[in-house]
Structures are given as structure tokens and as C-alpha cells.
Amino acid sequence: MKTLELIKSIEDSTHPSIKLHRLEHHNPDCMIVQETLDNDTMVCVSITLNTRVPLFEYYSGENYVPSSKKRSCSRVWYKEGIPSKFQNKYKELKTICEHFLASSY
């Protein structure tokens, strides 16, 4: 999906796996883009307003994905510590998050 189409589908809440948690609805200090990867795993990129430092968050298991049968696990990384298998996903979600953060002002 092209970037503009992707952003439009997220904005319209029609994207099947990516959700936007806007500043005014979820956390007034943080913009969050969340993607469900499978029945057990979701990842997020969040950017706080005061630091502007993006974080990559990994969640797996029944505490985070209700349909999961796996034991719960969560991890948070700054850019430098993100495992290589998540680098492209981080870049994609960070771009989306930055777009919506910039358009919030």
C-alpha cells in the first residue's frame, strides 16, 4: 500500500491492522501508532511531546493480545536497540507517527 493510501486508511480507521492513538483521545503527552502483526503479537511506535524521542514497543501474549495463547511478554527499545528483524517495521510506523504528530498542530 502506498504511503498516502496507508495514512488515509489509518485516519479513516479502515486499516485492518494499524491503529492510531491520537494525542487528544489516548494520552495527551504521546502519539502512538500500533500494529497487530498476528494473533499473538503487536508492536507500537510512540513519540512523546516533550522529548520527541521515538520508542519501539513489542507486546506478545494474552495480556496484550486477547486471542493469544502465549505467555505474556513486552519489550521497549530506543532506535539503537531495536532488533534487526523489526527495523523496517519501526521505520514504517515511525514515519506514520511523525506524520500524524506534525498534523496535530
Segment 89-96 mean pLDDT: 93
Task: Give per-residue pLDDT as tens, 36-68.
Answer: 888 889 999 999 888 889 999 999 998 877 778
Q: Residue 93 above 80 pLDDT?
A: yes
What integer pLDDT is reported at residue 3 of this predicted model?
Answer: 66
pLDDT of residue 59: 92
Mean predicted lDDT score pLDDT of the chain: 85
CA distance 12 to 8: 6
CA-CA-CA-CA dihedral for 79, 83, 89, 95, to nearest 10: 10
Q: Give this prediction's pTM.
A: 0.83
